[in-house]
């Protein structure tokens, strides 16, 4: 796991070495274990690399790495988890390797199979390979866009790419500025990351599952090499029990290959169903034995706790730890210098988020301090198996409008327990009111929905995302049935791309690699091949995962339905330790932009004697977030 960078002067001007170094080293946190810089094409192209050593800690893993007598050179960020299997295949073809890295395997695979090598990889990656003979630069991103690849392309003049948008602040011949259109989209709640755009003018994302083969005078044309609908199962087992057995086998192998590492590994355990499933599966693999090239203590858990706050899940995590008899490191999220930490994290994050990234980054900061470099995380289940209330509410609305009372009853039984027990009666009553409102005037139905308090309840539908601006040909799923649209949009367009960005940055700003077993492409394809009834029913969402983990984790966690999630408690912080700091930030902005109405409004809220409510806290944070990015 690393930081990659590249600059190609398409106008043939020589590239200054210091320019590449400055561009690359702006991402030192991503790779504190070493750096490398290579120059090609008459010194007009430079490839940079910051190394976080995971596999083969020797200098044999240094990048940019050369192959085939110097014809090919690679800068690569990621992990190919099945690299040893591919290496054996390549050895039968006569290839000999000089390191124990997956990087060298990627290069050899590209030599043998060209762009088709990507279909053989099981992992996460962003890479660039220079072919000295053909004078081409091959750039590719993994199936789901877990690892980032940002670029600026100005035909005939410049190509620059990097793992983070903040690197472009150090690019001499590019002046970074906000893209006002994209900024407005994001401020209004659109998640633009899956569309190929960023909030910065001219900085785009290579789309997930795409590659580019670029010549010096050629177009930057993204080509899709992987599409989920080409890999769905034609037939899955008929019963939930049989489906769960297949699901469990895939999850076990996904965890097994992701444990391979030459540095310490641990599981980030929240106590929720998803992370507890990963942790308990890892523990079971250790008990089975036979693991190779896996650290002996990789069955540890790391638990972030939030003493005194409602999102503290320590008690749940302790149940998983007691069940496995495993070891755990507890990390109380207590901040002695909270304003300084929030500001530092926000500048490193270099984007907009609904709350500071600090609560998430604190987990990996604690891991790194404890000597842990690789984290096993549980991301991806919610999006594929209706783990969010918004997804369930949209299904509820869809089936309600369709007159399907059986499914609205089913969804009501699923939605209510996701709330704290004190809210069950209120939510139950609100949903029953809505179910009875079919024949009421639209004005009354709108009133009922306002009582329920859901802003997004009446969305036009997930296919509205097709109207967003987009680079190239991102995913669109208008042809699918609405329940499938909900899952596909969350997974490929809306929520999950944002989560990948957030956790990549939260981990890498602390030099920690995050691995996600649920995002193994085989498990994703299988999960999305299952019917709705395998994901929602009997009072539960994530049904197939729960069935797969039967007798493999504590029943209290397997059947847990309360949804909490990890995010910074921005409301509590703005009513406490961040209030003075927030006022200082906004007052400094007002002095330079006296006509900024949003800033004045936020100052008024903070300066008042009334506590900041949740909606005010989000508005204030967004204003501060933007102010810090413009500082």
Residues 595-615 have pLDDT tens digits of: 678 899 999 999 998 999 999
Q: Where are the domains of the chain?
A: 2-226, 227-568, 570-629
pLDDT for 193 equals 85
CB 391 within 8 A of CB 486: yes
d(CA 410, CA 414): 7
Residue spans of the chain under pLDDT 70:
437-470, 594-595
pLDDT for 321 equals 98
pLDDT digits (tens, 9 = 90+) for 125-176: 999 999 999 999 999 999 999 999 999 999 999 999 999 999 999 998 899 9
Name the CATH superfamily, with its identifier, for domain 227-568.
HUPs (3.40.50.620)
pTM of the model: 0.94
Helix (H) / strand (E) element for 568: namely none
pLDDT for 468 equals 57
Name the CATH superfamily, with its identifier, for domain 2-226.
Aminohydrolase, N-terminal nucleophile (Ntn) domain (3.60.20.10)
* Cis before 64? omega within 30: yes
pLDDT for 460 equals 40
Dihedral class, residue 43 (left if φ above 0, else alpha if ψ from -120 to 50, else beta) = left
pLDDT for 102 equals 98
Cβ neighbours of 239 (radius 10 Å)? 11
CB 521 within 8 A of CB 380: no
d(CA 553, CA 276): 8
- Which of 317, 334, 333 lies closest to 267, judged by CA? 317
């Amino acid at each position: 796991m690393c930081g990659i960078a590249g600059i190609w002067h398409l106008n043939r001007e020589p590239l200054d070495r210091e320019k590449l170094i400055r561009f690359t080293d702006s991402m030192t946190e991503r790779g504190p274990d070493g750096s490398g810089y290579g120059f090609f094409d008459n010194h007009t192209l430079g490839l940079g690399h910051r190394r976080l050593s995971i596999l083969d800690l020797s200098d044999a893993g240094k990048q940019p790495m050369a192959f085939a007598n110097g014809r090919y050179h690679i800068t690569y960020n990621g992990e190919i988890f099945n690299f040893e299997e591919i290496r054996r295949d390549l050895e039968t073809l006569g290839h000999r390797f000089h390191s124990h890295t997956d990087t060298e395997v990627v290069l050899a695979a590209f030599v043998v199979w060209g762009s088709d090598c990507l279909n053989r990889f099981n992992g996460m990656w962003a890479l660039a390979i220079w072919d000295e003979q053909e004078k081409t630069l091959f750039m590719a991103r993994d199936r789901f866009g877990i690892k980032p690849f940002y670029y600026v392309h100005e035909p005939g003049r410049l190509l620059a790419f990097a793992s983070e948008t903040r690197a472009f602040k150090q690019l001499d011949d590019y002046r970074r500025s906000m893209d006002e259109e994209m900024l407005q989209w994001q401020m209004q709640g659109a998640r633009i990351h899956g569309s190929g755009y960023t909030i910065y003018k001219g900085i785009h994302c290579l789309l997930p599952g795409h590659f580019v083969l670029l010549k010096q005078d050629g177009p930057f044309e993204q080509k899709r090499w992987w599409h989920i609908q080409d890999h769905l199962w034609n037939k899955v087992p008929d019963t939930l029990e049989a489906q769960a057995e297949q699901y469990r086998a895939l999850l076990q192998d996904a965890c097994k290959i992701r444990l391979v590492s030459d540095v310490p590994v641990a599981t980030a355990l929240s106590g929720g169903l998803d992370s507890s499933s990963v942790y308990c599966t890892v523990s079971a693999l250790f008990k089975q034995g036979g693991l190779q090239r896996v650290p002996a203590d990789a069955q540890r858990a790391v638990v972030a706790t939030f003493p005194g706050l409602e999102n503290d899940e320590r008690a749940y995590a302790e149940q998983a730890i007691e069940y496995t008899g495993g070891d755990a490191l507890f990390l109380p999220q207590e901040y002695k210098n909270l304003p300084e930490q929030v500001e530092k994290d926000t500048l490193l994050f270099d984007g907009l988020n609904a709350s500071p990234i600090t609560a998430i980054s604190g987990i990996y900061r604690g891991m790194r301090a404890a000597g842990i470099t690789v984290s096993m995380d549980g991301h991806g289940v919610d999006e594929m198996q209706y783990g969010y209330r918004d997804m369930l509410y949209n299904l509820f609305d869809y089936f309600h409008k369709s007159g399907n009372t059986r499914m609205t009853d089913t969804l009501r039984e699923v939605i209510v327990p996701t709330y704290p027990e004190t809210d069950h009666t209120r939510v139950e009553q609100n949903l029953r009111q809505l179910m009875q409102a079919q024949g009421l005037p639209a004005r009354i139905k709108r009133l009922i929905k306002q009582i329920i308090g859901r802003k997004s309840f009446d969305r036009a539908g997930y296919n509205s995302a097709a109207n967003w601006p987009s680079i190239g040909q991102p995913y669109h799923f208008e042809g699918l049935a609405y329940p499938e649209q909900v899952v596909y949009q969350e997974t490929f367009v809306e929520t999950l791309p944002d989560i990948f960005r957030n956790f990549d940055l939260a981990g890498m700003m602390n030099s920690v690699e995050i691995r996600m077993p649920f995002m193994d492409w085989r498990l994703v394809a299988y999960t999305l091949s299952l019917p709705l009834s395998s994901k929602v029913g009997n009072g539960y969402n994530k049904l197939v995962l729960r069935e797969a983990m039967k007798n493999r984790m504590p029943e209290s966690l397997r059947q847990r339905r309360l949804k909490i999630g990890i995010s910074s408690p921005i409301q509590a912080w703005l009513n406490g330790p961040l209030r003075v700091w927030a006022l200082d930030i906004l007052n400094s902005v007002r002095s330079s932009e006296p006509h900024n109405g949003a800033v004045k409004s936020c100052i008024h809220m903070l300066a008042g004697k009334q506590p900041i409510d949740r909606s005010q806290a989000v508005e204030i944070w967004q204003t501060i977030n933007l102010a810090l990015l413009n500082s």
